């Protein structure tokens, strides 16, 4: 047992060396790491936001809004296909997730259902999954003359998932526009996105920029209703009421616009903030793609003299009159912009619209001062804990304590090496975890040493006592560390953010302590024994 083959010794040595190599980048300055050859490990541990300072937002895709807009969209489409198929209806009503088409002639039922079926879309075929072949719409009938189309739960859920996927992209593009360093944008659970921006001390601007869906539409104003006058009586089915320039307590100027969208934000290729050449007001200028340019040119050519509305998130930004056909495929939006709001709008338009509104469900910000203080204090506590334990172990176990201390240092190096290798995040509770494992890491050695001592006092020889000590202590080391590991794994699975950071450190600590305390100290003791051939126990 005390015999170590050469290759085993070499393997342990190599492991230590690897540990040092992987842990080293964390203490080297950036310039040295940059000069490393590319194959050399230069990854460092990522500091959590609580240490680095910064903001994080947990955003939730508004599933309810998404369902509602999908249902309204379906109603619109049902209206369109009935009109196209020249099927007479007396009403197309929306009730929950079901659109009911009441037919003038019950004989049209099959035809109407046929048309409704064309509106169904396969579930989940868009993103990365190949699709299940299921459709997101169930077509049925309520009475002899009422055809129904119901959105299925599965379809709606798939739509939420898809919306999260799309949102991730849009969020990334928008956050990138803030010009911050290394923002992290991750999906979390079924309908959430976690956005972390290191170094951002006030997340209000981030929230402003993510708080709008930024759905831009160009629509014609309904010519039967003059701008500024609230409509008396019901609106035609193809028009709806919106407001321009509203604020808190003041709804703004009523504008009745057509539901039909001439061009939407998807057809923009560029948007830039600028100033109007005449009155020096901030504006946003934009360019359409070919499809957008053609559609816009056609509509403006046919409607010279009429006003059209630029609608952002169901609010009218401005409603200018079409003085001449706009055929160049570019234009400008003027409204009551400030320099900053014009800039923000340009950012939003370039990044594209969100498929659904996002709600902030959790928000955490740590100022840079607190983060730096935590690092300083955490580092100090780690050193003090290490010195306490090292002195105490040496005072108790003499040369054996010295071996345990070397193992302890290697243990900490291994934690850093593994965390760098895994790209794990070090949080403040993670630092606490390191300090705690410094205290518990020596437990394995204590178990072994006490056992050796016991065996020696029971009359065994040195070698026999050492061997028997390692052998007997091993089972209990496995058992006690396994129970610890179970608690740590559960913490890892359930915790998030900083708490998870603690679980990672604790789990890695348990793993490395078993390796260092059992294998490494045994090697050191074996080498020591071979060299000195002692006859009395050193402690």
Partner 1 sequence: MRLIRLFPDDSKFRFVRWRVLSFPFSAFITVTTVVLFLTVGLNFGIDFTGGTLMEMQAKSGQADLAAVRSTAHSFEVGEVEVQEFGQGGQVSVRFRTQPGGEGAQSALVQKARAAFQNDYEIRRVETVGPRVSGELVQSGTLGVVLSIVSVLVYLWFRFELNLAIGAVIGTLHDIVLTVGFFLITREEFNMTSIAAILTIVGYSLNETVVVFDRTRELLRKYKNIPTEELLDLSINSTMSRTVMTATTTALSLLALVLFGGQAIQGFANVMLFGVLICTYSAIFVSTPMLIYLGVKTSARAAADAKAEADAKAAQVRA
Binders of partner 1 among residues 365 to 384 (CB under 8 A) are: 365-367, 369-370, 373-374, 376-378, 380-382, 384
Name which of 350 and 411 has its Cβ closer to partner 1: 411
Applying CB under 8 A, does 164 fall inside the site for partner 1? Answer: no
In whole angstroms, how close is the CB of 320 to partner 1 at the nearest point? Answer: 31
Q: What angle do CA 121, 122, 124 make, to 5 degrees?
A: 120
Q: Which residues of 357-376 are buried (b: 16+ CB within 10 A; e: fewer)?
A: bbeeeeeebbeeeebeebbe
Among 28, 94, 360, 527, binds partner 1 (CB under 8 A): 360
Name which of 73 and 369 has its Cβ closer to partner 1: 369
CA distances from 408 to 433, 453, 521, 525 (A): 14, 21, 10, 15
Applying CB under 8 A, does 409 fall inside the site for partner 1? Answer: no
Applying CB under 8 A, does 273 fall inside the site for partner 1? Answer: no
Q: Which one, of 486, 496, 487, 481, lies nearest residue 411 by Cα?
A: 481
Q: Alpha-carbon Rg of the chain, whole angstroms?
A: 34
Query: Which residues inside 33-52 make contact with partner 1, applying CB under 8 A?
Result: 50
Q: Which residue has the tokens 């309904």?
A: 222
Name which of 92 and 381 has its Cβ closer to partner 1: 381
Applying CB under 8 A, does 396 fall inside the site for partner 1? Answer: yes
CA distances from 519 to 227, 349, 393 (A): 83, 60, 18
Among 77, 240, 313, 363, binds partner 1 (CB under 8 A): 363
Size of the site for partner 1 (CB under 8 A): 78
Query: Which residues inside 427-486 make contact with partner 1, applying CB under 8 A?
Result: 428-429, 431-432, 435-436, 438-440, 442-443, 446-447, 450, 453-454, 457, 472, 475-476, 479-486
Largest CA distance in the chain: 110
Pairing status of strand 239-244 against strand 253-264: antiparallel
Applying CB under 8 A, does 518 fall inside the site for partner 1? Answer: no
Cβ 386 vs Cβ 408: under 8 Å: yes
User: How does DSSP classify residue 525?
Assistant: H
In whole angstroms, how close is the CB of 518 to partner 1 at the nearest point? Answer: 16
In whole angstroms, how close is the CB of 141 to partner 1 at the nearest point? Answer: 38
Applying CB under 8 A, does 498 fall inside the site for partner 1? Answer: yes
Q: Which one, of 361, 404, 432, 402, lies nearest residue 516 by Cα?
A: 404
Among 104, 409, 494, 530, binds partner 1 (CB under 8 A): 494
CA dist., res. 295 & res. 416, Å (int) = 59
Select from 79-87, 151-159, 414-422, 493-501 the region that touches partner 1 (CB under 8 A).
Answer: 493-501
In whole angstroms, how close is the CB of 509 to partner 1 at the nearest point? Answer: 11
Query: Which residues inside 167-206 make contact with partner 1, applying CB under 8 A?
Result: 201-202, 204
Query: Which residues inside 57-116 make contact with partner 1, applying CB under 8 A?
Result: 58, 60
Among 8, 13, 490, 534, binds partner 1 (CB under 8 A): 490
In whole angstroms, how close is the CB of 302 to partner 1 at the nearest point? Answer: 41
In this structure, the chain runs to a length of 539
Q: Which one, of 260, 253, 254, lies nearest residue 239 by Cα?
A: 260
Name which of 311 and 488 has its Cβ closer to partner 1: 488
Query: Which residues inside 203-262 make contact with partner 1, applying CB under 8 A?
Result: 204, 207
Select from 11-19, 98-106, 233-241, 359-367 the region that touches partner 1 (CB under 8 A).
Answer: 359-367
In whole angstroms, how close is the CB of 65 to partner 1 at the nearest point? Answer: 13
CA dist., res. 512 & res. 413, Å (int) = 10
In whole angstroms, how close is the CB of 440 to partner 1 at the nearest point? Answer: 6
CA dist., res. 258 & res. 241, Å (int) = 9
**Which residues have a Cβ under 8 Å from the Cβ of 215 and sit 6 or more positions away?**
264, 265, 312, 313, 314, 353, 354
CA dist., res. 341 & res. 516, Å (int) = 58
């Amino acid at each position: 047992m005390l015999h170590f083959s050469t290759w085993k010794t070499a393997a342990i040595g190599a492991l230590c060396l690897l540990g040092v190599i992987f842990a080293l980048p964390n203490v080297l300055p950036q310039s040295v790491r940059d000069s490393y050859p590319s194959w050399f490990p230069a990854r460092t541990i990522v500091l959590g936001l609580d240490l680095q300072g910064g903001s994080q937002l947990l955003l939730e895709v508004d599933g309810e809004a998404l369902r509602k807009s999908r249902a309204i969209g379906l109603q619109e489409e049902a209206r369109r296909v009935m009109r196209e198929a020249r099927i007479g209806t007396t009403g197309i009503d929306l009730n929950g997730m079901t659109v009911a088409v009441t037919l003038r002639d019950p004989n049209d039922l099959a035809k109407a259902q046929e048309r409704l079926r064309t509106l169904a879309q396969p579930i989940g075929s868009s993103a990365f999954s190949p699709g299940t072949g299921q459709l997101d719409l169930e077509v049925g009938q309520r009475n002899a003359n009422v055809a129904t189309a119901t959105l299925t739960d599965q379809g709606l859920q798939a739509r939420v998932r898809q919306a999260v996927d799309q949102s991730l992209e849009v969020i990334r593009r928008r956050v990138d526009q803030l010009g911050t360093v290394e923002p992290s944008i991750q999906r979390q659970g079924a309908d959430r996105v976690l956005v972390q921006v290191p170094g951002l001390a006030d997340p209000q601007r981030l929230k402003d920029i993510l708080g709008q869906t930024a759905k831009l539409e160009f629509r014609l104003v309904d010519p039967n209703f003059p701008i500024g006058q609230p409509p008396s009586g019901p609106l035609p089915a193809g028009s709806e009421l919106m407001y321009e320039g509203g604020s808190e307590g003041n709804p703004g100027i009523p504008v009745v616009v057509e539901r039909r969208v001439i061009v939407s934000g998807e057809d923009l290729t560029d948007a830039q903030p600028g100033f109007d050449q005449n009155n020096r007001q901030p504006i946003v200028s934009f360019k359409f793609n070919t499809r957008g340019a053609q559609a816009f040119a056609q509509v403006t050519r046919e409607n010279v003299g009429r006003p059209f509305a630029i609608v952002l998130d169901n609010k009218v930004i401005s409603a200018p009159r079409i003085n001449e056909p706009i055929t160049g495929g570019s234009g400008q939006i003027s409204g009551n912009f400030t320099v900053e709001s014009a800039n923000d709008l340009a950012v939003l338009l370039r990044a594209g619209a969100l498929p659904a509104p996002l709600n902030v469900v959790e928000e955490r910000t740590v100022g840079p001062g607190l983060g730096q203080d935590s690092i300083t204090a955490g580092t100090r506590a780690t050193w003090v804990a290490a010195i306490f334990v090292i002195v105490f172990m040496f005072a108790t176990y003499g040369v054996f304590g010295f071996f345990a201390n070397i193992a302890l240092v290697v243990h900490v190096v291994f934690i850093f090496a593994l965390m760098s290798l895994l790209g794990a995040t070090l949080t403040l509770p993670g630092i606490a975890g390191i300090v705690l494992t410094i205290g518990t890491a020596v437990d394995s050695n204590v178990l072994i040493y006490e056992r050796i001592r016991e065996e020696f006092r029971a009359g065994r020889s040195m070698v026999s006592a050492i061997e028997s000590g390692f052998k007997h202590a091993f089972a209990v080391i496995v058992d006690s560390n396994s129970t610890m590991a179970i608690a740590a794994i559960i913490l890892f699975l359930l915790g998030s953010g900083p708490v998870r950071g603690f679980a990672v450190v604790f789990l890695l600590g348990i793993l490395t302590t078993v390796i260092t305390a059992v294998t490494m100290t045994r090697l050191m003791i074996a080498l020591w024994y071979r060299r000195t051939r002692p006859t009395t126990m050193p402690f």
